[in-house]
A and B are shown apart, each in its own frame.
Chain A
Amino acid sequence: MMDCERIADYFRAVYEGDSDAQTGKMVKDHLKSCAACREEFKWYGVTIQALANLEQVAPPNDFLKQLNARIDKNSSIFQSIISQIKNLMNAIPTAPVPVGAVSLAFVTFCAFLVYNYTPPELSQGGKSGLSLNSNAQNGAIAVDSASRPVDSGMVASAPFSPQTAPFSHAYVPYDGPGRSSSVAWRFPTVADEIGADNLTVESPQMDLALKSLKEILPDIQGKLIDEKFRNAFGEALVGVIIPSSRYGDLTSALVNYGAIEVGAKSLESDSPAPTKVDSRNVRLYIRFTQAPK
C-alpha cells in the first residue's frame, strides 16, 4: 500500500483519469482506507472546481473600437518616426549611406575639431604682437616691430625649426615670412601657449639679451613676474609687469641700452597694446629665442 506522502503526487492523474489502471487502483484503495488522504483528495477536487467556477468576465462593449483607436494612434506615432528618418536620409546627399557610418563620421569630425581647438586668446596674438628680430652681433637685438602683416596668427617671428619644436600639437594659423595671406601649419611654442601681448626677441646671444632686459626693468619701474627656460628648444620666456606709460620706454630702453638696433619703423607707432593688469600697469610676456648665428 502506498504511503500518505506519496499518494498526493497521484491526485492530478487520478482526478483527471490520466493514470494507468494499476496506479489508479492503488490510489483508490489507499483513499478508501485513509480518511486524511481522502479529505485531502476532496480538497484537491474542490480547488479545481472552484477555479473552474470563477465568474466569467467579458470585455467592454466598445473594446474593438478602443483597440482600433489605440492601434491607429500607435501606427501614427510609428509612421511619424519612420517618415522623420526617411526625410533625414533623403536630406543627406550620400544616402543611402548607413546611419551608423554617417554618425561615426560625424563624431570623428567633431572629435577632430575639439582636439585641434585653439582658444580665442591664442588666435588674437598676432593682432597685438610685437616682434623683435635681432640681426645684430654681440647679442644686440634688432626691432622688427609689426613689420609684417599678421592678420590671423600668433606672434611668431621665427619660422619653424627643429629647435623650436614644441611639445603640444595645437593648430595655429601662421603667416610665415613671405606668406602673409596664407595659413600654414606650425607647431606652437611657449609663447603661443601663453597667449597674446608678447614680444618675441630673437638673439644670437640670448643670455645677453635676457640680462639686458633685467637691468632695464628697475629703471622703468617694472618687475619680473615669470621666467621659464626651455633649453631643449633654445628659448626662454619672461613675464613682466610694467607701468602702461612705460611700455614704449621698455623697447626704447632696450635700444638705448644697446641691446636693440632700431629697425626702419618706429617702435611707438606700431606697438600693440599689451594686457592691462589694472589702470596703470600692463603685463607683458617676452619670448627670447636663439637666433642662428
Chain B
Amino acid sequence: MTLDLETILNLICLTLASVSLVGSSTDNRDDDEELVKRCAGGDREAFNDLVVKYQKKVFSVAYRFVGDPEEANDLAQEIFTAAYQNLKSFRGDSKFSTWLFQIATNRGKNRFKYLKRRGFFTNKGSSETDDEGDQSHRALPDQTANPEELLSGNQIRKAVIEAINELEPDHREIVILRDIEGLSYDEIARILDLPEGTTKSRLHRARMVVKEKLKKVLS
C-alpha cells in the first residue's frame, strides 16, 4: 500500500514536471510564427495582421522616444516599413515581437538623438512652459505634501516627460521598455542584447535620475 502511494506520488510529480515543461515550451513558442512565415512569402494580409496586433505598442514606444504625435506616427511607420523590408532576413532566433522591438528601440534611439541635436526637445519644452508656465507655477505643491498625493496631478505628468526627455538615450530606452511599456526583464535583455543583471542595474540608475529630477521640480 505504501509502495503504491509512493508510486502514485512519483507519477504525480512526473506529470507536474512534464506539464511544467510543456508550459514553458509553449511560452517560448512564437505566437506570430505562422503570420511571419506567410508574410515572408509575400502575404500582405499577414503583414497587416501583424501591424494591427503591434501598432499600439510600437506607436507608444515611438511616442515615448520623440514625445510628439506626428513624429511618433512617422517613426512608427518607419519601424514597420523597416520590419517589412527586412522580414526575409528574420531567422526566427527570437520572437517576432522581440525582433520588432529591437527595430523600434534602435530607430527610436536614433530619432531621439537626431531630434535632440536639432533642439527639438528644448523648443518643445520651452513652448509648453510658455503655454502653461504661470499655471504650473501656481500649481506647485506644498512641500509638506505626501509624494503619493502628487501622482493624481497633471503637473507630475509634465515633470515626468521633461525628466525622460533629459535622460541619456541608454537610460531612456530602458525606462520606456520597462516602466512605461511594462516589458519583462528577460524580454528587455533580449531586445537590448544585455545581460539581465546589467539591464536591472541600468534601469535602477535611470530611475534614480528621474527621481532626482522629479524631486527637484515637485518639491
Per DSSP, chain A at the interface is helix
B113 within 8 A of A: no
- The reply to whether B84 and A48 contact each other, CB–CB distance below 8 Å, is no
User: Chain B residues near A55 (CB, 8 Å)?
Assistant: 157
Q: State which of A50, A51, A58 has its C-beta within 8 Å of the C-beta of B56.
A: A58
User: Chain B residues near A39 (CB, 8 Å)?
Assistant: 147
- The reply to whether B203 and A12 contact each other, CB–CB distance below 8 Å, is yes
Stretch from A60-68, A212-220, A227-235, A274-282 that touches the partner: A60-68
Interface residues of A in 24-74 (CB under 8 A from B): 39-40, 42-60, 63-64, 66-68, 70-71, 74
- The reply to whether B60 and A57 contact each other, CB–CB distance below 8 Å, is yes
User: Chain B residues near A51 (CB, 8 Å)?
Assistant: 160, 164, 175, 179-180, 207, 210
Residue on A nearest B70 in the bound complex, by CB: A60
B81 within 8 A of A: yes
- The reply to whether B73 and A46 contact each other, CB–CB distance below 8 Å, is no
Interface size class of A (residues with CB under 8 A): 35 or more
CA distance A49 to B131 in the complex (A): 26
CA distance A71 to B56 in the complex (A): 19
B3 within 8 A of A: no
User: Chain B residues near A74 (CB, 8 Å)?
Assistant: 81, 85
Rounded to whole Å, the gap between the CB of A73 and the closest CB of chain B is: 10
Rounded to whole Å, the gap between the CB of A161 and the closest CB of chain B is: 68
A250 within 8 A of B: no
Q: State which of A9, A42, A63 has its C-beta within 8 Å of the C-beta of B73.
A: A63
- The reply to whether B207 and A46 contact each other, CB–CB distance below 8 Å, is no
CA distance A42 to B148 in the complex (A): 8
- The reply to whether B77 and A66 contact each other, CB–CB distance below 8 Å, is yes
- The reply to whether A47 and B73 contact each other, CB–CB distance below 8 Å, is no
Interface residues of B in 76-119 (CB under 8 A from A): 76-77, 80-81, 84-85
Rounded to whole Å, the gap between the CB of B179 and the closest CB of chain A is: 4
User: Chain A residues near B161 (CB, 8 Å)?
Assistant: 54
User: Chain A residues near B63 (CB, 8 Å)?
Assistant: 57
Cβ contacts B183-219/A at 8 Å (1 or 0 each): 0000000000000000010011001101100110000
- The reply to whether B208 and A70 contact each other, CB–CB distance below 8 Å, is no
User: Chain A residues near B210 (CB, 8 Å)?
Assistant: 47, 51
Rounded to whole Å, the gap between the CB of A8 and the closest CB of chain B is: 7
B122 within 8 A of A: no
- The reply to whether A60 and B73 contact each other, CB–CB distance below 8 Å, is yes
Residue on A nearest B201 in the bound complex, by CB: A12
CA distance A42 to B77 in the complex (A): 39
Cβ contacts A156-200/B at 8 Å (1 or 0 each): 000000000000000000000000000000000000000000000
- The reply to whether A43 and B56 contact each other, CB–CB distance below 8 Å, is no
B151 within 8 A of A: yes
Chain B residues with a Cβ under 8 A of chain A:
44, 48, 51-52, 55-56, 59-60, 63-64, 69, 72-73, 76-77, 80-81, 84-85, 147-148, 150-151, 156-157, 159-161, 164, 175, 179-180, 182, 200, 203-204, 207-208, 210-211, 214-215
29 A–B pairs (Cβ distance < 8 Å), ordered by A: A8-B208, A9-B204, A11-B207, A12-B203, A12-B207, A40-B211, A45-B147, A45-B148, A46-B150, A46-B211, A47-B211, A48-B179, A48-B207, A50-B151, A50-B157, A51-B164, A52-B179, A52-B180, A52-B182, A53-B151, A54-B157, A57-B60, A59-B59, A59-B76, A67-B81, A68-B44, A71-B80, A71-B84, A74-B81
Task: Please list the 3 inter-chain residue pairs (A to B) with the smallest Cβ-Cβ separation, ordered nearest first.
Answer: A51-B179, A59-B59, A12-B204
